[in-house]
Structure 1
Amino acid sequence: MLKILVIQTAFIGDAVLATGILEKLHTRFPDAQIDYLVRKGNEGLFKGHPYLHELIVWDKQQGKMANLFRLLARIRTARYDKVINVQRFAATGMLTAFSGAKETIGYDKNPWSRFFTTRVPHIISTAEHPKHEVERCNDLIRHFTDDEVYLPRLYPTTEDFAKVAGFKAQPFICIAPASVWFTKQYPAAKWIAFLDRVPAGIKVYILGAPGDKELAKEIIGGTKHPAVVSLCGELGMLQSAALMKDALMNYVNDSAPMHFASSVNAPTAAIYCSTIPAFGFGPLSDGAAIIETREQLDCRPCGLHGHAACPKGHFNCAYTIKEEQLLGLLPQ
């Protein structure tokens, strides 16, 4: 039996986007044992995943390096045929290089790539030559599969759908207003201005982590819309995806909830402030749309990941987005 390990221990959205590899590997090699290594905190995304034999978790917060070497021993014991590293960082490069696998695959920009049996060029996406992250992921397995790119997918369980069934009694939209990066986050005042114009018959659910409760409270306290409910900290990641699947529209920043929506092919309105879709991390749903300023700003984009504050102090990439751009994506 073919034994394969896929490594992606970066953030939530990265772990979701790499699931396209899992989909394709299962389709091409249905009898293979496929394992996935993720960082602690992301394991909830893969509860009940039908194609995974084992989910391996690296705790980076407590005893990071000690846990890394324990993982290495575990990986070597498993005797994988292929180890596929979706990252460019030294720690996972070391795991890959010394995994003992028959084939070790990773990007050429990884510091340990000289020790990989297969090195794949990591191509940065640009506006002139766009390349989505799912295409970069497929580059890692193209040589033993083919050129077809598989989209990411998550598998909310029956229990996840049951948890959110009661929220679907009337037409609704979801908004996910938070982001780790300030300049990726559509401002609270702009969310409020938008919600004030959403028809009262449409329920609004605010999605987010426990740490996003204060932001949700600010939005609810500021809007005149009569039916806005915060679910921040109330739903797990798969439950959020299960709710988003049946929304009229999901309004998200350039952040993890956008990839949740892509993973269940949910309608998506992706709001880009300081970043741009050309970086290669855009929405992938059939019903996806991009919302960004219509003004030509010489300061945008100001970075790949965003900043803790607008470098220019004005944040015009967010404040010049019009409410009509969001409202125009509501089904009539």
Structure 2
Amino acid sequence: MKILIIQTAFLGDVVLATALVEKLHTFYPEAQLDFLLRKGNEGLLKDHPLLRQVLIWNKQEGKYKSLMRLLSQIRAEKYDLVVNVQRFGATGFLTAFSGAKETVGFEKNPFSRLFTRRYVHDVKSGTHEVERNNMLIQSITNAIPAKPKLYPGQTDFAKVEQWKQEPFVCMAPTSVWFTKQYPQEQWVTLINSIDPKYKIYLLGSPADKQHCEEIMAQSTSTRVENLCGQLNLLQSAALMRDAVLNYVNDSGPMHLASALNAPTCAIYCSTVQRFGFGPLADFAEVVEREGPLYCRPCGLHGYKACPEGHFKCAREIRNEQLLAVLEKAAAVA
């Protein structure tokens, strides 16, 4: 059996879709599994032991040119099943005209009427995204979703070993969306109040380096190191795995932690856990503003600025809430 899984959205969405890879391999260990994602996220699945190949949608080639090239490549594979986790038209087009014997996806996809089977995707249902994704393959597996999983290689673990020589905490302070991002000055307060027995590593992409440099400049701690841009995605995950705790926003690094079962403190500002994208590690705590706020949640993804101008959902999170999670994580480490 040949199966293609499609998820061309953000980093975190790809990580969550790896739960389907785990589940399908468990039920069909001889199946050939392929994964389609967008360029920039392919590092997540480098040398993945359960995948035959990773297809890459490079929009920079020209959206439609690359789409037609991909369609030709997909049709040539003669897949038995295409599982489309993405809900936008481009991937729906690829799915509908893939030539696969069976195609499944969510009804929100504009091409879903052409799929063999389609399912309702409801972020208000209270279910986790891995459960919603699992619906797509439930009829050929079972109703119990697998957990997402990534596979850093030996070289990835070797790369980060130098930073594991003493107890450490990781922090990923940035997010694509401003209203998902815990404020810079509050990261500074957190860093300054963490027991100096812990080394603190700031994680992110090269684009996040300046933001984290500013946090370090405002901090009085001498135990902080900015690793932004020094590690690829799998290396970051390999480091997070052995942290006493990982402080993250509701963003990609939270899902990296889930995929390595790394202890997680997820800071929720404008979004809420009931949307179904929460942390999945065995030790995972969500910290958010105590008590309801009339404007929260203001959206599924967040905004470039607080629509109300006050950003109380983030600013009214107390530092003591975050420190309490570290104390609890240290007790079970």
TM class by shorter chain equals over 0.9
Partner residue of 1:214 out of 185, 190, 210: 210
Distance in 2 (CA, whole Å) between partners of 1:219 and 1:47 is 32
Q: Is the counterpart of residue 125 in structure 1 residue 123 in structure 2? A: yes
Distance in 1 (CA, whole Å) between partners of 2:296 and 2:320 is 21
Q: Give the CA deviation at 1:148.
A: 1.2
1:295–1:320 CA contact under 8 A, matched in 2: no
The aligned residue for residue 69 of structure 2 is 70
RMSD (Å) for aligned C-alpha atoms: 0.8
The aligned residue for residue 100 of structure 1 is 99
Q: Give the CA deviation at 1:295.
A: 3.2
Q: Is the counterpart of residue 173 in structure 1 residue 169 in structure 2? A: yes
Specify the SS of the correspondent of 1:6: strand
May I ask how many residue pairs the two structures share in their alignment? 328
Distance in 2 (CA, whole Å) between partners of 1:295 and 1:197 is 24
Q: Give the CA deviation at 1:282.
A: 0.3
Distance in 2 (CA, whole Å) between partners of 1:107 and 1:201 is 48
Specify the SS of the correspondent of 1:136: helix
The aligned residue for residue 223 of structure 1 is 219
Runs of 4+ in 1 over 6 A off after TM superposition: none
Amino acid of the residue matched to residue 115 of structure 2? F
Q: Give the CA deviation at 1:278.
A: 0.6
Q: Give the CA deviation at 1:119.
A: 1.4
Distance in 1 (CA, whole Å) between partners of 2:194 and 2:113 is 55
Distance in 2 (CA, whole Å) between partners of 1:269 and 1:141 is 30
Q: Is the counterpart of residue 89 in structure 1 residue 85 in structure 2? A: no
More helix by share: 2
The aligned residue for residue 304 of structure 1 is 300
Partner residue of 1:153 out of 144, 149, 152: 149
- Alignment deviations for residues 280-324 of structure 1 (CA, whole Å, 9 cap, x no partner): 100000000000000321011111100000111111001100010
1:273–1:292 CA contact under 8 A, matched in 2: yes
The aligned residue for residue 259 of structure 1 is 255
Q: Is the counterpart of residue 325 in structure 1 residue 321 in structure 2? A: yes
Amino acid of the residue matched to residue 111 of structure 1? P
Distance in 1 (CA, whole Å) between partners of 2:176 and 2:275 is 17
Question: What TM-score does the superposition give when structure 1 sets the normalisation length?
Answer: 0.98
Distance in 2 (CA, whole Å) between partners of 1:61 and 1:265 is 34
Amino acid of the residue matched to residue 284 of structure 2? A
Amino acid of the residue matched to residue 68 of structure 1? L
Ranges in structure 1 where 5+ consecutive residues have no aligned partner: none
Distance in 2 (CA, whole Å) between partners of 1:79 and 1:304 is 36
Q: What percent of counterpart residues are identical?
A: 57
